[in-house]
């Protein structure tokens, strides 16, 4: 029988034939794909003809087409619907794929062809996009160690292979801790109906009677907000922050230490002072000092705001008859009480207006008004019953397939993300993307979102737009293939449209009655936008600064001690913890993506606050000229130019931090 991963897909839009693929198909498909890739690269390297852009760079762009197809399916499934077989295969694949990548960059004949093109680049008659792609290939090879020789090259290959294995183990340990822990709820005191419903659904998903709290953020956060039982809040919170630090086989602390040591060694082999300097060289920030300067400009006012808020919350704690001090498991509970008092916002009254279906419709409607996109539901086989798919078109032209997978489950890692099963490119034909949004919302009938959940949905859909509107020739620079501290701009910018009153008026409709959100509730909601921003900013910036200090200097032998030292030096408020403590800091330790780069959300926020101001200046959040510039210079451009050039083309200048502080309510 033909392996469905290796056959030509005759499905609609050439979607993966999910109903035919089994776990047993992946290992032989990866073997065949890597064999095909090795043959393709060997042919390029051994080509007797002089190197040209077509026979070298364009050939390399297509060399891994089969591997990209197989990996696009596998890694999406392993993150969103893990099985023991997929987890075992991922552990096996991580070092093998790393070794495969090292083979390519260590192929001296291949690198020689790239270097020849680079030296002759001015005489090749390349387009601007081709010149950019050539530069990126050469930079990628050099930064991966292509110029190293002998023992140094061999050791770098070993280091990268070990890092790949450790990142996979870190992720799987975290998923195991999240999957195994639950707390039965015999006391539902203070919990609104939507939390009770979610706790019941979580119990059913785990084959239990009654109600349980799990470590899914979409369930544990509202539990911490509403449960009257301080002892239960304490137990749940301590379990949440202990993920990856429970001892035994799933403990991530030693893994984090080894990862940091190997990253420092990797940077040293490549001639860099430390890993942060290596990593930030290709980002907008450029240097650790530039990152630190931005974060500290935000930290100081955020900490002051958080400390003032803590005094209010502690007074409420005392009034309830509890002894001080305010603890981390108290903050969300009393902040929710204060929000109800200060803004008359009751999450339980708000959520019926924020159904999942209505918020999806809102995100689609904004994309239609801004960029002319249309969405048509597809009845195609997908990898899980929770997943849904839409065809995306514009003026009758197929633009993409969009898959949304929104509910938390024990087989899905925590968090929210956007990925692709196929990226856009024009080389070799008009290839349109398959884009996936993953969220972890609490399942309900119907599914109701918090306002933060709705922001997450818009955020991930902003990433999806970056992929769907991509319009480049080469896959290397398609969609979100941009500097890490630029990639969050489209996603964070798109969140702003959820704040537009006319969007909420149209789509925030009661799930039972269909009535629009009352104007006075809408006004109170928008008026509370900056509520508790001291807390939110402090927990984020603390995580970003710890990440930076881990990598800007010698690798710490004890990351937990280093974490404590950094937080102590910052004067971290007692009742706030890092958003992601080291043992569950997946952004930083599951792979290199956000290592030394967790700051990038804030770097992008400086731009997104300023970018949305462009629509305000135009007098219309859906101004067509501004939307056209946004698509032309940012959303469709991918990595066609340096990020600063793209942003400047859109806005005419780079922004300062003032708009961010104003947007968070932290301006003096």
594: which DSSP letter?
Answer: T
- The predicted-structure confidence for 578-598, as pLDDT tens digits, reads as follows 999 999 999 999 999 899 999
The whole-number pLDDT of residue 288 equals 98
Closest C-alpha to 595, from 253, 279, 161: 279
Using CA atoms, how far residue 379 sits from 24, 92, 402, 403, in Å, is 26, 34, 13, 12
CA dihedral 549→553→555→561, nearest 10 degrees, is -40
pTM: 0.93
Q: Which two tokens stand for residue 484?
A: 């890490």
> pLDDT value at position 583?
98
* Cα 471 to Cα 77: distance, rounded to the nearest angstrom: 27
For position 414, what pLDDT does the model report? 87
Question: What is the C-alpha separation between 275 and 27, in angstroms, rounded?
Answer: 33
Long-range contacts of 199-206 (CB under 8 A, 24+ apart): 199/223, 201/442, 201/443, 201/444, 202/408, 202/442, 202/443, 205/409, 205/410, 205/443, 206/182, 206/410
Closest CA to 80 of 409, 403, 443: 409
The torsion angle over the Cα atoms of residues 300, 483, 631 and 404, rounded to 10 degrees, is -90
Cα–Cα distance for residue pair 40/434, rounded to 1 Å: 25
Catalytic residue among 205, 460, 495, 549: 460
According to the model, what pLDDT value does residue 382 have?
Answer: 97
DSSP strands (E only) in 278-387: 374-378
pLDDT at position 1 is 72
CA distance 650 to 608: 12
Query: How far is Cα 601 from Cα 536, in angstroms, rounded to an integer?
Result: 13
Task: Say if residues 33 and 70 touch (Cβ distance below 8 Å).
Answer: yes
Spans in the chain with pLDDT lower than 70: none
Q: Which residue has the tokens 């990639």?
A: 487
Determine contact, residues 555/596, Cβ cutoff 8 Å. Answer: no
Which of 133, 126, 131 shows the shortest CA–CA distance to 60?
133
Cα separation, 57 vs 431, whole angstroms: 18
* Domains delineated in the chain: 12-105+107-144 (1.20.1050.40), 181-241 (no CATH), 242-320+538-668 (1.10.1370.10), 356-496 (3.40.390.10)
Q: Could you tell me the two tokens for 363?
A: 């995100």
178 annotated active-site: no
Torsion sign across C-alpha atoms 638, 643, 647, 649:
negative
pLDDT at residue 345, rounded to an integer: 84
């Amino acid at each position: 029988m033909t392996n469905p991963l290796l056959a030509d897909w005759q499905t609609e839009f050439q979607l993966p034939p999910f109903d035919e693929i089994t776990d047993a198909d992946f290992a032989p498909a990866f073997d065949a794909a890597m064999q095909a890739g090795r043959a393709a690269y060997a042919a390029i390297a051994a080509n007797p003809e002089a190197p040209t852009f077509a026979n070298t760079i364009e050939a390399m762009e297509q060399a891994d087409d089969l591997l990209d197809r197989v990996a696009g399916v596998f890694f999406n499934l392993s993150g969103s619907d893990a099985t023991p077989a997929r987890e075992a295969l991922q552990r096996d694949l991580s070092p093998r794929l790393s070794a495969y990548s090292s083979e390519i960059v260590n192929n001296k004949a291949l690198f020689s062809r790239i270097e020849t093109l680079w030296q002759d680049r001015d005489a090749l008659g390349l387009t601007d996009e081709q010149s950019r792609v050539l530069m990126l290939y050469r930079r990628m090879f050099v930064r991966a160690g292509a110029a190293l020789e002998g023992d140094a090259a061999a050791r770098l290959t070993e280091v990268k292979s070990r890092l790949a294995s450790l990142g996979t183990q870190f992720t799987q340990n975290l998923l195991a801790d999240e999957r195994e822990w639950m707390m039965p709820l015999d006391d539902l005191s203070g919990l609104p109906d939507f939390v009770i419903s979610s706790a019941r659904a979580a119990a059913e998903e785990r084959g239990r009677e009654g109600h349980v709290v799990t470590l899914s953020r979409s369930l544990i956060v509202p539990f911490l907000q509403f449960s009257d039982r301080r002892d239960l809040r304490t137990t749940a919170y301590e379990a949440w922050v202990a993920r990856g630090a429970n001892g035994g086989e799933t403990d991530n602390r030693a893994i984090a230490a080894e990862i940091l040591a190997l990253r420092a060694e990797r940077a040293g082999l490549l001639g860099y002072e430390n890993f942060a300097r290596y990593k930030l060289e290709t980002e907008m920030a450029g240097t650790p000092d530039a990152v630190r300067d931005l974060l500290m400009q935000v930290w100081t006012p955020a900490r002051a705001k958080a400390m003032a808020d803590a005094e209010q919350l502690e007074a409420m704690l005392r009034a309830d008859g509890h002894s001080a001090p305010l603890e981390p498991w108290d903050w969300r509970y009393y902040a929710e009480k204060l929000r109800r008092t200060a803004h008359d916002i009751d999450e339980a009254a708000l959520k019926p207006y924020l159904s999942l279906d209505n918020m999806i419709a809102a995100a689609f409607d904004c994309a239609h008004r801004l960029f002319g996109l249309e969405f048509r539901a597809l009845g195609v086989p997908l990898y899980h019953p929770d997943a849904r798919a839409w065809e995306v078109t514009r003026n009758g032209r197929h633009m993409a397939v969009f898959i949304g997978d929104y509910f938390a489950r024990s087989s899905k890692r925590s968090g929210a993300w956007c990925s692709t099963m196929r990226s856009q490119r024009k080389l070799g034909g008009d290839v349109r993307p398959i884009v996936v949004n993953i969220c972890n919302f609490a399942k309900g009938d119907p599914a109701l979102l918090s306002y933060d959940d709705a922001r997450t949905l818009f955020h991930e859909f902003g990433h999806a737009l970056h992929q769907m509107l991509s319009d480049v020739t080469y896959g290397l620079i398609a969609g979100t293939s941009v500097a890490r501290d630029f990639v969050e701009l489209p996603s964070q910018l798109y969140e702003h449209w959820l704040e537009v009153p006319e969007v909420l008026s149209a789509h925030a409709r009661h799930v039972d009655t269909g009535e629009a959100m009352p104007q006075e509730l809408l006004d109170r909601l928008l008026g509370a936008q900056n509520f508790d921003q001291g807390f939110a900013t402090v927990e984020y910036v603390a995580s970003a600064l710890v990440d930076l200090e881990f990598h800007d200097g010698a690798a710490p032998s004890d990351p937990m001690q280093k974490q404590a030292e950094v937080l102590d030096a910052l004067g971290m408020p007692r009742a706030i913890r890092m958003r992601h403590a080291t043992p569950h800091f997946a952004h930083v330790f599951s792979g290199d993506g956000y290592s030394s780069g967790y700051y990038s959300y804030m770097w992008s926020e400086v731009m997104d606050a300023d970018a949305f101001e462009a629509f305000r200046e135009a007098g219309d959040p859906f101004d067509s000229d501004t939307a056209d510039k946004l698509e032309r210079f940012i959303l469709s451009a991918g990595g066609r130019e340096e990020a600063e050039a793209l942003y400047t083309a859109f806005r005419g200048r780079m922004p300062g931090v003032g708009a961010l502080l104003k947007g968070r309510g932290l301006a003096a």
